[in-house]
Amino acid sequence: MTIIHKIKELGGFAYSSEKDGQFELTESMIDGVEKTLGILPEKRLLDFVSQYGFGYFTGEVGIIPTKLPPVVTKEDPVCPVGRFFGFGDGKNSISNIIKTYSIPEQISIRCFPLCYGVSGDIFLYSLEEKSFGKIYYWYHEGDIGNDLFLVAENFTAFIDGLQQIISKPVEKSKVRMTFVSPKMLELMNKTRAQNGLPPLTEQEVLDK
């Protein structure tokens, strides 16, 4: 299945305003990526970022990692996949993510960042010799050396493994939330924004 067919199967795709400032994937651009990282990821990944960078699934989409990170459970193993990083200068650009997180105190392996996971976490493509091409989930609250969880053996398996997240029906609590503080609403919407989801109003939260 092609990537475009997979995206259609998952319900569609949309882009943030950063897409307007995305850099074109030229030979000089590729040379710059190689100079920054020391090695290039596979061409298919570069082409994917060129087309889908700064984008996100319009519905809730995730993947079941090979090794489950602490943000999911065996009963509910699908890990949300958020906004994809792109080539540009913005907050969600690959260059900014590398500058921010590819340091010894954060992500300890050489990698190419793919997209957000749960708030603060990142899916990444390994550029290390022994694990080149494997997709990992970086859990930002984990201890260094114990913060990477294998998601897929390669980029193709990662794309193939993406699936819609189907919310399980739950019995409504007899106790209903009657108030949402501005701070709580802000934090909830910050997490939703990082995962490419639209913000909720106070009433929408109370109605859930």
SS3 179: coil
Specify the pTM. 0.79
Domain 3-164, what fold?
SMI1/KNR4-like (3.40.1580)
Across 190-195, average pLDDT: 77
Among 68-72, 167-171, 202-206, the range of highest mean pLDDT? 68-72
pLDDT at 172 over 80: no
pLDDT at 95 over 80: yes
Domains of the chain: which residue ranges? 3-164, 171-208
pLDDT at 123 over 80: yes
CA–CA separation, 201 and 188 (whole Å): 10
What pLDDT is attached to residue 161? 96
What pLDDT is attached to residue 90? 86
